[in-house]
């Protein structure tokens, strides 16, 4: 039985988001409301609230959302998957 977390990559997304300023390319804080607005341009609509739930592992994350989020953050999807804070299946609570 899987753990209570609903995705593996929310913490990694948060860590990357907090280390990137998409407007200038400098390191800095990228707010959820700004990220939500940028995602709208990709065709993926996620509110600030939904993004917060993803980052807190309380909402499922689709592959399409993962790719759009990576694009907005200026990274590759694998950077999120392999990023600091990403959960392994064992940490998530999956049993084989």
Whole-model pTM? 0.86
Cβ neighbour number for residue 38 with a 10 Å cutoff: 18
Q: Which CATH number characterizes residue 44's domain?
A: 1.10.260.40
Does residue 2 lie within any of the structural domains?
no
Per residue in 31-70, pLDDT (tens digit) is: 999 999 999 999 999 999 999 999 999 999 999 999 999 9
The full length of the chain comes to 96
What phi and psi, each to the nearest 5 degrees, are found at residue 42?
-90, -10
Minimum mean pLDDT among 9-13, 25-29, 66-70: which range?
Answer: 25-29
Owning domain of residue 73: 10-85
pLDDT given at position 34: 92
pLDDT given at position 20: 76
Does residue 33 lie within any of the structural domains?
yes
Does residue 23 lie within any of the structural domains?
yes
């Amino acid at each position: 039985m899987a753990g209570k977390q609903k995705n593996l990559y929310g913490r990694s997304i948060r860590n990357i988001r907090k280390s990137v300023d998409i407007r200038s390319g400098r390191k800095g804080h990228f707010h959820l409301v700004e990220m939500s607005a940028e995602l709208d341009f990709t065709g993926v609509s996620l509110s600030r609230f939904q993004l917060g739930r993803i980052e807190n592992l309380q909402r499922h994350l689709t592959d399409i959302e993962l790719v759009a989020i990576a694009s907005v953050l200026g990274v590759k999807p694998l950077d999120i998957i392999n990023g600091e804070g990403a959960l392994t299946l064992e940490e998530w609570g999956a049993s084989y």
